[in-house]
Amino acid sequence: MGIITRWDDKQQTIVLLEFETSWTLDDLKQAVQEADALISSVDHRVDLLIDIEDSRMPSDFMGMARVLLAEGEARANEGRRVVVGANMLFRQGYQAVKAAFRSKLEGREISFAADRDEGRAILRSLRG
């Protein structure tokens, strides 16, 4: 599989999505379903740590975003999202998606971190 989805901590407050070098829209859909199942399995807020450090952005990034955003809403207890290892190309792609799908992304903003430790620190600080 192109994306590994699992709990990142024993308290089950962070779901880690670890993107491998290559992945497809089907891989992404499967990872989102697995993350949704984990988030839905608990009653407390669950944040997402999305590690794309070793990943390549697919050529149809905008099309993938459109399909994914059309398929569903965030879980009621879904928390913040931090993307780890995003290069400039990914960040520019995110800005384009954000501009094109502003209403769908409202309340689902992404923060960026250089590595997982920084991502976890950001999530802790956002929890207050």
What are the tens digits of pLDDT across the range 61-84?
A: 777 777 777 666 778 899 999 999
Tell me the residue type at 46.
V
CATH classification of the domain holding 17: 3.30.750
CA dihedral sign of residues 19, 24, 27, 29: positive
pLDDT of residue 1: 58
Q: Taking residues 97-116, what's their average pLDDT?
A: 86
The domain total for the chain is 1
Report the number of secondary-structure helices (H) and strands (E) in the chain: 5, 5
2 contacts 22 by C-beta, under 8 angstroms: yes
Threshold 0.85, pTM exceeds: yes
Give strand ranges (E) for the chain: 3-7, 14-19, 46-51, 78-84, 110-113
DSSP conformation class of 54? T
Sort residue 85 into left (φ over 0), alpha (ψ -120 to 50) or beta: left
Domain containing 25 equals 3-127
Block residue for tokens 């089950």: 12
Checking if the pLDDT of 119 tops 70, the result is yes
Residues 82 and 21: their CA atoms lie apart, in Å, by 19
